[in-house]
Structure 1
Amino acid sequence: MIVVMKSGSPEAEIARISEELSDRGLTPEKIIGKHKVVIGLVGETASLDPLQIQETSPWIEQVLRVEQPFKRASLEFRHGQASDVVVDTPSGAVHFGQNHPVVVVAGPCSVENETMIVETARRVKAAGAQFLRGGAYKPRTSPYAFQGHGESALELLAAARTETRLGIITEVMDAAELDKIASVADVVQVGARNMQNFSLLKKVGAQPKPVLLKRGMSATIEEWLMAAEYIMAAGNPNVILCERGIRTFDRQYARNTLDLSVIPVLRSLTHLPIMIDPSHGTGKAEYVPSMALAAIAAGTDSLMIEVHPNPAKALSDGPQSLTPDRFDHLMSELAVIGKAVNRWQQPSVLAY
């Protein structure tokens, strides 16, 4: 349920209404919009009469029920207003949201050594990326595949961050490693395999760093948004949704099916920012540019693209990784579409 306040409502009246609703066992959350304030109510609201609440103050414009099972993540909860996730990086604040330039995240699947990660960070920064991705801990289908270097890889990500002033996005697999990861990462990633690890979602939601939530390989959109709800219900409203391809019938030609239709669907359901990962979504480097271009045209807020200096020798996901030179070229291609839809950043001036 949401309480929409009239434009110019006194702060004291908003506080009074919030306190009164809190006394009824609800959790009021104040959402400040461009022209109005909305009070979102979380809790047992089925027995509440919207008209009764509206009559408690002349400053209440209307009271509406949120019909979706995901309350905080729903577009209704914010009265149709998109929200931004603002990430503090060494280079300044970066805004993920539909009223801002597309944010590009790039880097290798996993951190292999210091030379590789620092040089890749320099190259993607020079091309215009704002964030470096790289796995310190890697969930793999096979127990014999490279699992990441763990804590020592976090130190290498920190070195790359210092060198380039890029933001860092890396995955958490186990709540036991969350504090170590959050001390280095500017955004904590929950991967596809852990999308419904509800215990982990609660722990990630209880810490303050923004969270990147990847869609599970077989997850419906509602299941994905309910996973986001777990994070938000634990106290962290800063969630970015990442589509990374879902599993369908045909896996002969592409690793997954990249669901770009999810962009307009999510726009109608949630206020949360959207990221598209065409690298995992296709599994083949030659398909990544087309899907990245299409994602910007469709309205994505962010892209995550895998880049490796020597994909043929990558310890994980080499076939879907672009070389730095190909990434440079792709960024110039993306700029054409991005500028056409008024969603592109100014080019970086960092040399490499």
Structure 2
Amino acid sequence: MIVVLKNGTPEMEITHLSDELSSWGLKVEKSVGKHKIVLGLVGNTVELDPFRVQELSPWIEQVVRVEQPFKRVSREFRHGEPSEVVVSTPNGFVPFGEHHPLVTIAGPCSVENEEMIVYTAQRVKAAGAKFLRGGAYKPRTSPYAFQGHGESALNLLIAARDATGLGIITEVMDTADLDKVAAVADIVQVGARNMQNFPLLKKVGAQDKPVFLKRGMSATIEEWLMAAEYIMAAGNPNVILCERGIRGFDRQYARNTLDLSVIPVLRSLTHLPIAIDPSHGTGKAEYVPSMAMAAIAAGTDSLMIEVHPNPAKALSDGPQSLTPERFDSLMQELAVVGKAMNRWTQKSVNNYQLPVVSGK
């Protein structure tokens, strides 16, 4: 249930209403939007009479039941207004959201060594990326595939951040590793295979780093949003939803089916920012540019793109990774679509020379 307050409601009245509603055994969450202030009521509201709430104050404009099973995640919970997730990075604050410029995240599937990750970070930053992605812990279908370097790779991500000032996004697979990952990451990623790992969702919800929640390979939209609800119910409101392709029946030509229709669907259902991962969504580097441009046209708030200095020798996901040179040209192509959609800003000029890696 939400309580919509009239414009100009005094702060003292908001505090009084919150205290009164809390005394009824409800959790009250205040949301300040562009046009309205909304009090979200969480708890046993099934038997609560909206007219009883309405009578509490003349400053209450409307009392509305949230019909969706996902409450905090629902767009109704913010009275139709989008939320934003603002991430602190060494280069400043970066906002994700419907009314902000597109945010590009780029980097390799796995952190392989310091030279490779620092070089890639410098290249993607020079092209306009705001965040570096790189896996320290990697969930793999085969137990014999490269699983990542673990904790030592987190130190390499720190080196890349120190060299570039990029924000860091990396995946957590186990609740036991969360503190180590959160100490390094500016955004903690929950991968597709862990989307319904409910103990992990509760743990990432109980810490304060923003969470990048990928859609499960066979998850419905409602299951995905309910996973986000777990995180928000644990106390963390900063969730970014990432579509990374769902399992289809024709895997001969593409790794997954990238569901771009999810963008307008999510816009109608949730206030949370939306990201698209065309690299996992297609599994082939040659398809990534088309899907990235289509995602911007459809209204995505962010793109996650895999980049590797030498995809043919990558320890994981080489076929879907772009070279730094192709990423440079792609960012110029994306700028055309991004500007047409009013979602692009001029990238800042970098004051360092691009490094040269021998044997690349």
Normalising by structure 2, report the TM-score. 0.97
Q: What is the Cα deviation at residue 146 of structure 1?
A: 0.2
Correspondence for 2:235:
235
Q: Distance in 2 between matches of 1:236 and 1:220?
A: 22
The equivalent of 2:68 in structure 1 is 68
- SS of residue in 1 equivalent to 2:184: coil
1:248 is displaced (CA, Å) by 1.3
Which residue matches 1:132? 132
User: Displacement of 1:348 after TM fit?
Assistant: 3.4
Structure 2 distance, partners of 1:319, 1:146, is: 15
1:149-182 superposed Cα distances (whole Å, 9 cap, x missing partner): 0000000000000000000000000011111111
Partner of 2:215: 215
| CA displacement at 1:94 relative to structure 2 | 0.1
AA paired with 1:181?
Answer: V
CA distance in 1, matches of 2:195, 2:348: 34
Aligned partners of 1:307 and 1:93: how far apart in 2?
23
Amino acid at match of 1:253: Y
Shift of residue 249 of structure 1?
1.2
User: What is the CA–CA distance in structure 2 between the aligned matches of 1:53 and 1:347, rounded to whole Å?
Assistant: 49
Specify the code of the residue in structure 1 equivalent to 2:306. E
User: Sequence identity, in percent?
Assistant: 81
Q: Are 1:289 and 2:289 an aligned pair?
A: yes
2:241 alignment partner, SS class: strand
Structure 1 counterpart of 2:47: 47
User: 1:95 corresponds to which residue?
Assistant: 95
Which amino acid counterpart does residue 264 of structure 1 have in structure 2?
Answer: P
Q: Distance in 2 between matches of 1:47 and 1:141?
A: 46
Instruction: Give the aligned residue type for 1:236.
Output: N
Structure 2 CA distance for aligned equivalents of residues 135 and 34 of structure 1: 37
- Which ranges of structure 1 fall in alignment gaps of 5 or more residues? none
The answer for the alignment partner of 2:111 in structure 1 is: 111
Q: Aligned residue for 1:6?
A: 6
Q: Report the counterpart of residue 330 of structure 1 in structure 2.
A: 330
Residue 154 of structure 2 is aligned to residue 154 of structure 1? yes
Q: Secondary structure at the match of 1:219?
A: coil
| Alignment TM-score, normalising by the size of structure 1 | 0.99
The one-letter code sitting in structure 2 at the alignment partner of 1:246 is I
Aligned AA (1:75): R
| 3-state secondary structure, aligned to 2:189 | strand
Q: CA offset at residue 10 of structure 1?
A: 1.0
Match of 1:197 in 2: 197
Q: Report if the CA contact (8 A) 1:50-1:63 is conserved.
A: yes
Alpha-carbon distance, 1:265 to partner:
0.1
Matches within 5 A, 1:143-182: 143-182=143-182
Residue 127 (structure 1) shift: 0.1
8 Å CA contact 1:8–1:36 kept in 2: the answer is no
Moved more, 133-142 or 19-28: 19-28
Counterpart contact for 1:127–1:348, Cα < 8 Å: no
Counterpart amino acid of 1:190?
V
After superposition, give the CA deviation of every residue in 1:84-122 in whole Å (9 maximum; x if it has no partner). 000000000000001111000000000000000000000
AA aligned to 1:12 is: M
Between Structure 1 and Structure 2, how many residues are aligned? 352
- CA shift for structure 1 position 36: 2.2
In the TM superposition, structure 1's runs of 4+ consecutive aligned residues that sit over 6 Å from their partners are none
Matched residue, 1:313: 313
